Structure 1
Amino acid sequence: MDFGLKVGDLVWAKMVSFSPWPARIVQPGPSTPKKTGRKECQWVYFFGSKNYAWIENNNIKPYADFKEKFYDCNNTALFKKAISEIEEFISKLAEDPNYELPNFDLPVPTSSSTTTNNTSTTSSKKSKTPSKEKEKEDPDKKFNKLISPKKTKKAAPVKRENSDAGSTRSSARAPKRSRTSPRLEENGIGDLGTEILNRPSILDAPESPTLNLNSISELLNTKDILASKLTFGFIGLGTIGSGIVKNLINSGHKVNLFNRTMKKCEDFKAQAENDVNKAGLVNTYIAPCDVMQNSDITFNCVSDPYNAKENLVGNCGITKVGDSFHGKGYVEMTSIDPQSSKDMCEIIKSKGGRYLEAQVQGSKNEADEGSLVVLTAGDKSLFVDCQSCFKAMGKTAFFLGDVGYATKTNLILQLMKGVALVGMAEGLALADRCGISSKDVLNIFNLTNLACGYLSNKAELIVKKEFKHVEQAIKHMQKDMQLALDLSDQLKQPLLMTSTANEVYKHARRLGYDEHDAACVYMRTRH
């Protein structure tokens, strides 16, 4: 049904395999490519991409009637630009019925007398007008020159004998369709390189972890925790560290704090001082070495191996305490590689200290609830001394043996999560491209045996596009994937899927999503 289509109508135009796109039916120019096929078609102009194409009538719908249905069928920046342009055009057209954009080549009605009087003048102008000037006056021809390949000489007619009639026929071989065909551009998704380069920066900054000692999880209330009488130091109040420290304080542990942003430490101390049951449990220090000196056991929970080593041996690092740690304990909770962990262990042991690697599986939500899974390896006596802390921060803690086993196990689990997340993101991107509601896909997904808390939660963030709600920053996920690949290089173990997934994460980071949740890898698969 063509709805009485005519030149000037605002419509939704759809090409095969692509979503409907805001467009306008325009008058074909003298250099407009001839339409192919027998079906009725319209020459349309696509908003946003400023491209043209012949579209069959049955793939054209009135813009106003189908606006609500097609408005959210595409999330690309170019599609949003197209919506903005057509809405602006409608607004200006309401103010001035004669308003027209320079992109359109619509016919201007003239009276018969004017046409007659100007016939000779027009004819003389045509004979004197250079060909280059004609091209300037015809936007269609100029556009087709930009997107079409250079013309080649037409092949000479090939004659062949007709065995039945004994006569000859001349036929020319049809020119092969150029690989530089503007088919993608015609559908409003052209100029892809420009779209990526000009993609707007992310305006919404990631949410910072909230520090609220009064928000005690139900799970923590059900735990029977007898707080150790030892004093614990804690370095790093990031996404995971803030939740761990909150549960340590709420379970009655005495904690000494250090963070690069000292305001977070002061906030924790101020909230503790305002609560009679927590007063005196929190102290703050201006350097890692001060925390180590005033604590029996010190936890280090920062972003990456570099910062972990810096807190250990850097300026004012914990090794600056003195020549001996006198049996003090050091627990490395940063997600690091096995070799770095072993190097740290040697440094701590050389000064008479005890070392334990404690890798955590979980995100911000699990840290806040106290439901992390803790994987440890190293000094078993230190593991025993930290039991009350591990009980406050997680639902279980494993001791896996010698230093290196916990870090390896953690990287293996992170590898599985990272590859699975990319697969799910690609599935939801394909659903969007097919015109299938991602919400429907998520509802069905949650009813199958594929569903798990991690993937369901990430899918929810993808559907709502809430990547600023950070549970695990994408830069940390990609860092763990890279550490897993480094480990595989040492063991000569091929990781094909992990290598590919790591490239997807790197590309998403390059698009500016470094500090956003790992679920934003969807934005790379979508575009």
Structure 2
Amino acid sequence: MRIGFIGLGVMGTPMALNLIRAGHTLVVHRVKERSQILIDEGATAAASPQEVAEGAEVVILMLPDTPDVEQVLRGESGVLAGLQPGSLVIDMSSISPVATAELAAEVAERGGGYVDAPVSGGEVGARDGALTVFVGGSEEAVSRAMPLLEVMGKTITHMGEAGAGQATKVVNQVIVGLTIEAVAEGLALAEASGIDAARVREALSGGFASSRILDLHGQRMVERHFEPGFRMRLHRKDLGLALAAAEHHGVTLPGTEAVTGQMDTALAHDLAEQDHSALFRLIGGEFT
């Protein structure tokens, strides 16, 4: 396929690279040093989102936040200005489920299909083509998107109509955020008790407290290695989406409110660009 790809960040670049190596032709926007490899592998650079969309069968977005997606789609020289009838937009960003439904309707008005397909799995999952993908959209649109999603992801679940994928991703981020906080608390308590946190992590790995977050992020915490796989500021953004959704639906999320407050404090201590597991630095008392 001829694919337009917009959003060449930590995750977007390896996702796009996997598509190229699967034999697809890519047109990309805003190439920087990190994403120069895509040009080296045969992608073509475009001057605007509109130019990306012109002639593309599919346009994939992997952007930081709701306003970014809205601007790229609706803005001057945006995707909607160049979208061809019958083309498909796949938004793999993590954004508002409410906004997603509105954007899907606008794409449909222009004769296009829309799939929301936010992901979980971080930089490693993006690089390995092993992302977990939560998908929303019509059966027809999802069927068209599936061969591409299968290049980038390993576990792909169609959750319902447009917006359902984003709603599921919000749930994922709540659970991940609270589990990171729980692991951070546990390992901080271990260290305060004079126990080797690395040995505690190993001891717990075979029991009921075992989790992928204890395995991967627990190791980051023990080693104090917080280079971003998923930046703290982006997870904080996702928790904001969760709280907005909870307010919309009349649900209270006290744990999410607490972790959101902790992340706000962490961001105030310049941890925005560190991995979300760097919450351990705050929980462990580094800034007291």
2:198 paired with 1:455: no
Distance 2:105 2:209 in 1: 43
Distance 1:463 1:298 in 2: 40
Give 1:342's aligned amino acid: A
Deviation at 1:391, TM superposition (A): 1.3
Match of 1:360 among 95, 119, 124: 119
Match of 2:170 among 388, 391, 411: 411
Contact 2:191 2:197 in 1 (8 A): yes
Higher helix share: 2
2:52 paired with 1:294: no
Distance 1:256 1:265 in 2: 12
2:101 paired with 1:342: yes
Matches within 5 A, 1:332-481: 332-467=91-226, 469-481=227-239
> 2:68 corresponds to which residue?
307
2:21 paired with 1:250: yes
Q: Deviations over 1:420-470 (max 9, x none)?
A: 110110111122222221112111122323222233100101111111x21
Give 1:245's aligned amino acid: A
2:37 paired with 1:267: yes
Distance 1:377 1:413 in 2: 15
Note closer, same or farther for the CA distance 1:417–1:409 as it changes in structure 2 (3 Å cut). Answer: same
Distance 2:276 2:151 in 1: 26
Contact 2:230 2:276 in 1 (8 A): yes
> 2:45 corresponds to which residue?
284
Contact 1:265 1:284 in 2 (8 A): no
Deviation at 1:518, TM superposition (A): 0.4
> 1:18 corresponds to which residue?
none
Deviation at 1:387, TM superposition (A): 2.2
Distance 1:293 1:449 in 2: 52
Q: Deviations over 1:363-383 (max 9, x none)?
A: 111111111111111132222
Q: TM-score, normalised by structure 2?
A: 0.94
Distance 2:36 2:236 in 1: 31
Give 1:295's aligned amino acid: A
Match of 2:2 among 219, 231, 234: 231
Match of 2:77 among 316, 319, 333: 316
Distance 1:412 1:266 in 2: 34
Note closer, same or farther for the CA distance 1:526–1:342 as it changes in structure 2 (3 Å cut). Answer: same
Contact 1:257 1:265 in 2 (8 A): no
Distance 1:234 1:482 in 2: 26
Q: Deviations over 1:103-138 (max 9, x none)?
A: xxxxxxxxxxxxxxxxxxxxxxxxxxxxxxxxxxxx
Distance 1:240 1:457 in 2: 18
Contact 1:258 1:265 in 2 (8 A): no
SS in 2 for 1:386: helix
SS in 2 for 1:512: coil
Match of 2:257 among 499, 519, 526: 499
Structure 2 gaps of 5+ residues are: none
Q: Deviations over 1:71-103 (max 9, x none)?
A: xxxxxxxxxxxxxxxxxxxxxxxxxxxxxxxxx
SS in 2 for 1:398: strand
User: Which protein shows a greater Rg?
Assistant: 1
Structure 1 gaps of 5+ residues are: 1-229, 273-280
- Greater mean deviation of Cα atoms: 371-380 or 288-297: 371-380
Distance 1:263 1:437 in 2: 40
Note closer, same or farther for the CA distance 1:290–1:453 as it changes in structure 2 (3 Å cut). Answer: same
Runs (4+) off by over 6 Å: none
Give 1:306's aligned amino acid: P
Q: TM-score, normalised by structure 1?
A: 0.52
Distance 2:191 2:174 in 1: 26
Deviation at 1:265, TM superposition (A): 4.3
Deviation at 1:326, TM superposition (A): 1.2
> 1:106 corresponds to which residue?
none
SS in 1 for 2:26: strand
Cα RMSD after superposing both structures? 1.5
Note closer, same or farther for the CA distance 1:315–1:265 as it changes in structure 2 (3 Å cut). Answer: farther
Deviation at 1:264, TM superposition (A): 4.1
Distance 2:276 2:183 in 1: 12
Note closer, same or farther for the CA distance 1:443–1:266 as it changes in structure 2 (3 Å cut). Answer: closer
Deviation at 1:316, TM superposition (A): 2.2
Contact 1:474 1:518 in 2 (8 A): yes
Contact 1:266 1:284 in 2 (8 A): no
Deviation at 1:406, TM superposition (A): 1.2
Say how many residue pairs are matched. 285
